[in-house]
Structure 1
């Protein structure tokens, strides 16, 4: 008869379990509705107190709904388990296929939530260093600054950094203090050079070029420290000494400067200081002064 109706045995065998499940669900629904109707009628006839009657009606209704849900789980349990496994498999495949995109979105949320940097800030992450000019959900665009980590000139190249890097790599924000920054650069000397004279000359030159805005920088740093609950940093120019090897002396120059003039002021200081020759020829500044006094 199935063949006469145009239904093959395979099609009928496929739809038979589904028809059985829907039939069981329909029977369960009818039983639940009848049970709810009988229980409600019994409560209304036997319970005289309106408050108690309302309470029993609500509890009975909730109990019958719970029975209906448990019945559906028993009827459709196997299909629900198969569906859950399929959904999990699809979800795993989706995550594997879009892992990098998910990491990029996560990195975007991380840097936004942490307030790591804004448009215009100079940042460094891994080997990338430059000024941020654009941010999207998937990538951050910077204008490269370099070469290296100590110079402050734009190279003319643009770098597009995937936001996934912000999940696993630390970010250095060189514009943390915004308007004024404490700029640092290092000048190497040999132990036999006249580094004492160079140290003094660097300090004088740095103080000279910072003098016009030194007080404004001090007030700005103080206000910034008060806003963020930090100890105020000293903004006075200073030149400290480092000894990386036994034969070398490094002079570390630190001075306040407007964020946009770091490279410019650094070059002014170096150009002014190195108009003099500080090669010691084996004699220190103290020895030369002693020789002058003896003469």
Structure 2
């Protein structure tokens, strides 16, 4: 019993116990503050940022507390122990440490944030959460065509921000360029077809074009990038079967599928009103010669 009491009265044991109590107090405080903010803040974006801010501050306090506890007294006695301990932890938990470093990198550099649409490590989707280790993404694509949710929630280690490219669809310039091909037959009025495609695109996308021009001007001023044509453009491509009118236009990254559907619908209706001057094309098959066949009946 005396040896047990001496053990608990040892300075190191008392210091470790105090450290654990403080860490436990900080963790409980973080959870209570997160719940309080969840009840008090109605705006989803502000609530999320406030909760993440409390979490980051709590983890920083825990780190500082551990650092001060080990280095405030008897620095020389702890030098070798801390060195060996740090080396072992770094080797064993290198992926975890890299993930935590990635979370700070994402937070301070603003590589992406909740609500952004990104593609990382071959996975595309909308960011719905970023914590100290993982980025949570609502997946898009896979067995679902176009930019539709697959329904799967994917967690990606934050360490991937250091390991490969990150494609952000919404940071700085929340628009993307898209294309569609309108196929018309040879013999159609090509100039009229071009006018129909360009007029319908210009009318439908006027709001996108106006908004994107202002944002693109800011991009040109901020980055080393050449100016680009924001307004819809049409180019002609001749093939063996038809004339392809290639329309290039700007679209909101979240409305790409719906925008393309509206364009095709409006262009089809306008082509039908030309009464045959412009005809939509389809695959054709031409038989050059039918081989001779001898049939003998018995």
Greater Cα radius of gyration, structure 1 or 2: 1
Distance 1:197 1:102, change over 3 A: farther
Note the 1:178-193 alignment, pairs <5 A.
Answer: 178-179=173-174, 181-185=175-179, 187=181
- Write the mapping of 1:255-274 to structure 2, written as runs, cut at 5 A: 255-273=249-267
Map of 2:160 onto structure 1: 165
Matched residue count: 200
Listed as ranges, the gaps of 5+ residues in structure 1 are 1-78, 284-295
> Measured at CA, do residues 103 and 227 of structure 1 come closer, stay the same or move farther in structure 2, by a change above 3 Å?
closer
Q: What is the CA–CA distance in structure 2 between the aligned matches of 1:242 and 1:149, rounded to whole Å?
A: 30
Offset from partner CA, 1:246-285 (integer Å, 9 cap, x none): 99998764322334422211121233445763226379xx
Equivalent position to 2:209, from 188, 195, 214 = 214
CA RMSD of aligned residues (A): 4.3
Partner of 2:90: 95
The alpha-carbon distance between structure 1 residues 119 and 251, as it changes in their structure 2 partners (threshold 3 A), is farther
Other structure's SS at 1:226 match? helix
Q: CA deviation at 1:175?
A: 0.9
Q: Could you tell me how far apart the structure 2 residues matched to 1:96 and 1:226 are? A: 44
Contact 1:138 1:162 in 2 (8 A): yes
- Aligned-pair CA distance for 1:241: 6.7
| Matches of 1:170 and 1:187, distance apart in 2 | 30
CA contact (8 A) 1:141 1:161 kept: yes
Are 2:282 and 1:279 equivalent residues in the alignment? yes
Greater fraction helix: 1
| Distance verdict in 2 for CA 1:190–1:258, change over 3 Å | closer
Q: Partner residue of 1:136? A: 131
Deviation at residue 204 of structure 1 after TM alignment: 4.0
Q: Find the aligned partners of 2:140 and 2:94 in 1 and give their Cα distance.
A: 30
User: For 1:236, which of 226, 231, 238 is the aligned residue?
Assistant: 231
Q: Deviations over 1:62-83 (max 9, x none)?
A: xxxxxxxxxxxxxxxxx97x97
TM-score by length of 2: 0.52
CA displacement at 1:197 relative to structure 2: 8.4
Unaligned 5+ segments in structure 2 are 1-75, 270-278, 287-298
